[in-house]
Amino acid sequence: MRKRKLLKILKYGCAGLAVLLVAFGIYFYNAVMIDGPTVTPGAVASGEPRHIDGTLYAIGNSWMRKSANGLYELYVEGEPYDRGLIIGKLSKGLVERQEDFFVSQLHEMIPSDTYINFLKLFVAWFNRNLDTAIDDEFKKEIFGVSRSAPDQYDSIGPKYMRMLNYHAAHDIGHALLNMHLVGCTSFSLKGKKTTDGKLIAGRSFDFYMGDDFSKEKIVAFYSPAKGYKFMSITWGGMTGVVSGMNEKGLAVTINAAPGSIPGSASTPISIIVREILQYAKNIDEARTIAERRKSFVSESIMVSSAADGKTVLLEKTPDSCLMFDSGTDEVISTNHFQKTNRVEEESSAYRFSRVRELIDAENRFDERKIAAILRDRKGRGGQDIGMGNEKAVNQLIAHHAVIFKPEDGIVWVSSSPWQCGKFYAYDLKKIFARKGVPSRDGEIYDNSREIKEDPFARSKDIVSYNNYRALRTRIAKAVRARTVISDADLKAYEESNPEMYLTYQTIGDYYLSRKDYENARKYFTAAKSKEIARNSEREKIDESIDECDEALKR
């Protein structure tokens, strides 16, 4: 009797739990589900791409091609949803591949499927109100692009939801996951600092999501139905802006800054910058837009204005927006705020002082000397701190580097690898003056302004660096799997990048995984003798040495 009663209780208890789980699932699904905006496509956008010549395809007056320089070039015009549809159709292959690269890199960084599933649920819940923080114009454009997103990732989420969330990837990368994906450097010079007295600005966008992510860069030119024409350097599926300049000579870039983890979804910084480029002609208007929007994270927005003849930093947090004006002919921005003197990472202050050192070493700058700073791989005083060190301006991870001359309307965009390939010049005045689709697949950049590639791009050093990265990946996998790496491979790895602290830390981690505490301690100690990028990494190395010492005492 008691047994039947217990079984009955268990039966109804399990049934009740199942009902609760289903109810929670329905609630969660409805809470995080984001419906697309109400849209009506125009007749032109409803068409399919037509082949013009070579790699050139068009829909209406919008077109896309792949330059011989390796950069994709996109021109799009029209209303928001139409623009999105056209971008998606013309760049469908790039949209699909970028999502492949993004998801693949996510699995590389987070091997645990359990944690990825948890992260997926967390991001979905955290961003459940993301659409309310983005204006209809940009939502419609993103919705249009999402119609060309691949089906294979529908298990992650519906296409529109995925595209919205990817626009917040930059923010989530440095605020929530703290994976050190973002470490950019920007600077601007004018007056006595430049050869012609005009404003010139340079930036590296060090947002790393794997090597493949940065291979298919898009130089996008927008002629929206409302607002100013502008260009940006972007990738498949991305309509927000991280680096760009408009027809009024307003150039905008972003640098991540330290800040607390946000409590809820707000406007992604790339969408705020997009709005500035499309609707601001000077610093005051840019500041008004930045102040009006609540951002996800803390970010330093560098605004260089032809109308004002200067550059300022808008130091934006989720709750405030302060303007920093150096009052001099130079402005430098790494990854800390200057208005509030807030520096939390050693690497940011180090890069800042290295850029100032390089600027002080020259009298006047043109675009070629700006490119030389963006390509600098050394530490302070020209010290060799290892290839790929986060304290270097050129960390050998950049998605792109770009140089702006706002008063002349000229933009130089780097080609692969990183900022080491040639910089190609685009004259925005000429490009925006063009009417209709080009009659043939011809180059639109100004080859007379080309900046030569960095000799490093064809040197033995880059071969060594690529070997270093490949071996580091192999060793890291061996540490996780507790498998063996040959002494020859360990030696080759050490010789591939001998001044980089991570070289020795990685070998130390390998020996520690093998319980070879003596060798592990030797390599951790060697790592401490090099230029370490972050305080947190120095602390981790110290902890590893302590672990070795304790084991050796036993």
Residue 43 lies in a domain: no
Check residue 26 and give its pLDDT.
Answer: 35
* Domain carrying residue 20: 1-32
- Can you tell me whether residue 511 is helix, strand or coil? helix
532 lies in the same domain as 435: no
Check residue 118 and give its pLDDT.
Answer: 67
Residue 110 lies in a domain: yes
Residue 317 lies in a domain: yes
Contact 144, 80 (CB under 8 A): yes
DSSP string, 169-223: HHHHHHHTS----B--EEEEE-GGGBSSS--EEEEEE-B-S-TGGGTS-EEEEEE
- Please tell me whether the peptide bond between 406 and the residue prior to it is cis, using omega within 30 degrees of 0: no
Which CATH number is 472's domain given? 1.25.40
81 lies in the same domain as 17: no
Contact 246, 278 (CB under 8 A): yes
500 lies in the same domain as 438: no
Contact 73, 219 (CB under 8 A): yes
Residue 42 lies in a domain: no
Point out which residues pair with 413 in neighbouring strands. 402, 424
- Hey, how many other C-beta atoms are within 10 angstroms of the C-beta on 298? 25
475 lies in the same domain as 397: no
Point out which residues pair with 323 in neighbouring strands. 314
Nearest to 336 by CA among 361, 353, 319: 353
> C-alpha distances in angstroms, 56 versus 62, 63, 67, 162, 443?
11, 7, 9, 28, 11
| pLDDT averaged per 10 residues in sequence order, the chain, 554 residues | 50 43 38 70 89 97 96 97 97 94 76 68 70 93 96 87 83 54 86 98 90 91 98 97 98 87 78 98 98 91 98 94 97 91 78 97 97 98 97 96 98 97 98 94 96 98 98 96 97 98 98 98 98 94 98 92
288 lies in the same domain as 315: yes
Q: How many domains does the chain have?
A: 3
Contact 277, 289 (CB under 8 A): no
Contact 57, 90 (CB under 8 A): yes
423 lies in the same domain as 296: yes
Nearby residues of 520 by Cβ (< 8 Å), 6 or more positions away: 508, 509, 510, 511, 512, 544, 548
- Hey, how many other C-beta atoms are within 10 angstroms of the C-beta on 466? 15
Report the alpha-carbon angle 363-414-54, nearest 5.
145
82 lies in the same domain as 137: yes
Contact 543, 519 (CB under 8 A): no
358 lies in the same domain as 386: yes
**pTM assigned to the model:** 0.91
Q: Which of 431, 453, 475 is the last residue of a domain?
A: 453
Distance CA 311, CA 201 (A): 8
Q: Which of 433, 453, 473 is the last residue of a domain?
A: 453
Which CATH number is 123's domain given? 3.60.60.10
> C-alpha distances in angstroms, 360 versus 193, 357, 363, 414, 434?
9, 5, 7, 24, 40
Query: Buried b vs exposed e over 376-387: b needs ≥16 C-beta within 10 Å?
Result: bbbbeeeeebbb
Distance CA 55, CA 94 (A): 14
Query: Buried b vs exposed e over 34-54: b needs ≥16 C-beta within 10 Å?
Result: bebbebebeebbeeebeebee
Task: Count the helix, strand and coil residues of the chain and give each as a percent rounded to the nearest 5.
Answer: 45, 20, 35
14 lies in the same domain as 153: no
In this structure, the strands spanning 218-224 and 72-78 are parallel
444 lies in the same domain as 504: no
Residue 256 lies in a domain: yes
Location of structure tokens 């607390």: 260
Residue 38 lies in a domain: no
- Can you tell me whether residue 265 is helix, strand or coil? coil
Residue 379 lies in a domain: yes
- Hey, how many other C-beta atoms are within 10 angstroms of the C-beta on 539? 11
DSSP state of 150: -
Amino acid in the structure at residue 495: E
Check residue 176 and give its pLDDT.
Answer: 47
